[in-house]
Structure 1
Amino acid sequence: MIEIRALRYFLAVVDENGFTAAARRLHVAQPAVSMAIRKLEESLALSLFHRRDRGIELTDEGRILLDHARRIIQATEDAELEMRELQGLDSGEVRIGIPSMLGSYYFPPILMAFRHRYPKLQLTVVESGARKIQQMISEGEIDLGVIVSNTPPDDLETRSFLRDQMTAVMPLDHPLAGQASIAYGDFFKEDLVVFKQGYFHREVLDRLAQESNYPLQIGFETNLLPLIKQIVRHGFAITTLLAMVIAEDADLVARPFSEPVWLDLSIAWRRDGYLSRANRAFVDFLLEHAASEQSRLGT
């Protein structure tokens, strides 16, 4: 019979790529991890790891077990969470992944207002790219995440909350700043400052460049929004951002593209997972806020 503890140890060894690192993460002695894995292999009559001088590698059998182990541990954690929540919404945690562009300019007031309404709930916010956020949700590292929902993965449940336009951003004195809209050909002739791969900002640029048959002229690559704005402000490159990002920057301008680029953003969670009461409360709060904003703006 496979023990839950042995599967937790197995996942830790895989995720940390070693027995010693897994022991540190689990706060146990390294021999205890080695013994647990050895007993698991004996109970299955299979080898789960190739043990080499330079590290470990999963066997074919180990890779098969890995998929089952992740599902079993996630289901166990879901069950434990649901049982704890039978006592009510007096405690709990919301773990959410948010892309940096939205984390800096859209979500701060929402997060603070949610914390004010539910002061006993803990909020853990992770900043990452949209692709990484999808992966973290699927693997149970976070409960909720903000993704671009044009093509949501099959394993995620989504609710749309924001539709906004990507704009070309440049300093006031840039030659393109006087135009009402920016053609792709003019935009892609410029040096650009871009996010790294995995962020929806970069995916939009890559897609537009490919569809328009223009190469990206990348001058800078960074995920730091303040640095991106400084580079644009000083005339070293231009970029594309949601208009909200520069709403308070009087020395920068945002111009729509001649062919508008709309993004549909959604809150997502695992389709087959248990959405805790705390997380359901956050989803409802976010959608309530979004509906209120749309009503206020008349959209």
Structure 2
Amino acid sequence: MLAPAILRRLDLTTLRLFVAVCEEGSLTRAARHAATAPSAVSKRLVELEQTLGVQLLERGARGMTVTPAGETLLHHARRMLRNAEQIALELAEHAKGVRGIVRMLANLSAIVQFLPEDLRAFLASQGAIKIDLEERPSGGVVRGVAEGAAELGICAGSVPAAGLDSTLYRRDRLVVVMRRDHPLAGRGALAFAETLDHDFVGLHAESSIYASVQAEALSAGRPLRLRVHVPGFDAVCRMVQADMGIGVVPQGVFSLFGGATDLVDVPLSDRWAQRTLQIVTRPGPLTPAAGLLRHHLAAPPDRCPVEAGPERG
């Protein structure tokens, strides 16, 4: 079979030399940097091309250029080398006494509002465990966990997570942030429909909050007067402060960012604005470290006082 033969030739040394030749555009320079004879590098590349049955490099008077097949291998080779480096780093951590590394994805709401304190408490009791945390929008969290990029994720409860196990993490409430001189300031609460006569500052298009705002405007049969997309909650508050419009953020986020901007927040009275955040994992057993973290993060009843209404899927 061809596949085992290919795998035998895709050793890390050959891949490093191939990447070096592609990046240097010269076999001689790549060999010099690798402290290897040019003839040895050339032999490895020829054998690799013979095994794969494709030409990877064009040899010319001015050096080497990558063929389309070579571009494909270059993309995967770089990723394989990064993975190999990560393996070495993580095994070195275990040699230092680390008992486990948990790869975790979370949306911005969870990272800003809740995870700093929750992870600090977890690591205080489980100091021999390391956490590799990456921020992604809720849909990206679900995809990443399903594809095996992480063992554990935290995302908005409104995002479908079919095929994954889910556990309640927290509840939060959405509020409208605005300047103190805005016509809606001073209200005790607002129905979302009342905000649609005003300009909006929106989160990035993949945000679950922005998706909910868009869906509710569509449901009301009104256009969303979006003036600008921004990447994060602090940018929403800054744009609102600059009189670019009003924004929708979690109440806990406003508590962190709003005070420094002299803005005000008004809770949304709509039931969809009372949200849940969920922990998602693939079915089946987790590693011991990930299991400990999920158990720590799973919400006890007294940590989620906000009543959650029906959510838009």
TM-score, length basis structure 1: 0.68
1:169 corresponds, among 167, 177, 185, to 177
What SS does the corresponding residue of 1:282 show, helix, strand or coil? helix
C-alpha separation in 2, matches of 1:7 and 1:203: 45
The one-letter amino acid paired with 1:100 is L
> In the alignment, which residue of structure 2 is the partner of 1:218?
226
The one-letter amino acid paired with 1:280 is G
> In the alignment, which residue of structure 2 is the partner of 1:294?
303
What SS does the corresponding residue of 1:186 show, helix, strand or coil? helix
Asked if 1:282 corresponds to 2:302, the answer is no
Structure 1 residue 257: Cα displacement? 3.4
C-alpha separation in 2, matches of 1:157 and 1:42: 46
Give CA-to-partner distance per residue, 1:203-224, whole Å, 9 cap, x none. Answer: 1112112222222212121113
> In the alignment, which residue of structure 2 is the partner of 1:23?
none
What SS does the corresponding residue of 1:177 show, helix, strand or coil? coil
What SS does the corresponding residue of 1:158 show, helix, strand or coil? strand
Check whether the contact 1:171–1:252 (CA below 8 A) recurs between aligned residues.
yes
Distance 1:185 1:39, change over 3 A: farther
> In the alignment, which residue of structure 2 is the partner of 1:264?
276
Identity of aligned residues (%): 19
C-alpha separation in 2, matches of 1:282 and 1:210: 39
Structure 1 residue 140: Cα displacement? 2.2
Give CA-to-partner distance per residue, 1:28-77, whole Å, 9 cap, x none. Answer: x9xx9xx999999999x998x9x9x98648xxxx9xxx9xxxxxx9xxx9
C-alpha separation in 2, matches of 1:7 and 1:188: 59
The one-letter amino acid paired with 1:291 is P
Give CA-to-partner distance per residue, 1:117-145, whole Å, 9 cap, x none. Answer: 11111111111211222222223222211
Distance 1:189 1:146, change over 3 A: same
> In the alignment, which residue of structure 1 is the partner of 2:120?
112
Asked if 1:188 corresponds to 2:200, the answer is no
C-alpha separation in 1, matches of 2:173 and 2:8: 47
Q: Which structure would you say has the larger Rg? A: 2
> In the alignment, which residue of structure 1 is the partner of 2:104?
96
Structure 1 residue 281: Cα displacement? 0.6
Work out the number of aligned pairs and report it.
Answer: 266
Distance 1:190 1:54, change over 3 A: farther
What SS does the corresponding residue of 1:153 show, helix, strand or coil? coil
Distance 1:205 1:55, change over 3 A: farther
RMSD of aligned alpha carbons: 4.5
C-alpha separation in 2, matches of 1:286 and 1:105: 13
Distance 1:259 1:92, change over 3 A: closer
What SS does the corresponding residue of 2:273 show, helix, strand or coil? strand
TM-score, length basis structure 2: 0.66
Check whether the contact 1:192–1:217 (CA below 8 A) recurs between aligned residues.
yes
C-alpha separation in 2, matches of 1:207 and 1:37: 54
> In the alignment, which residue of structure 2 is the partner of 1:233?
241
Runs of 5+ consecutive residues of structure 2 not aligned to the other structure = 14-18, 24-33, 35-39, 59-64, 77-82, 308-313
Check whether the contact 1:103–1:127 (CA below 8 A) recurs between aligned residues.
yes
Structure 1 residue 116: Cα displacement? 0.6
What SS does the corresponding residue of 2:205 show, helix, strand or coil? coil
C-alpha separation in 2, matches of 1:173 and 1:90: 53
Displaced runs of 4+ in structure 1, greater than 6 A?
A: 35-43
Runs of 5+ consecutive residues of structure 1 not aligned to the other structure = 10-15, 21-28, 67-72
Check whether the contact 1:161–1:267 (CA below 8 A) recurs between aligned residues.
yes
C-alpha separation in 2, matches of 1:233 and 1:184: 20
C-alpha separation in 1, matches of 2:186 and 2:162: 43
1:178 corresponds, among 186, 192, 200, to 186
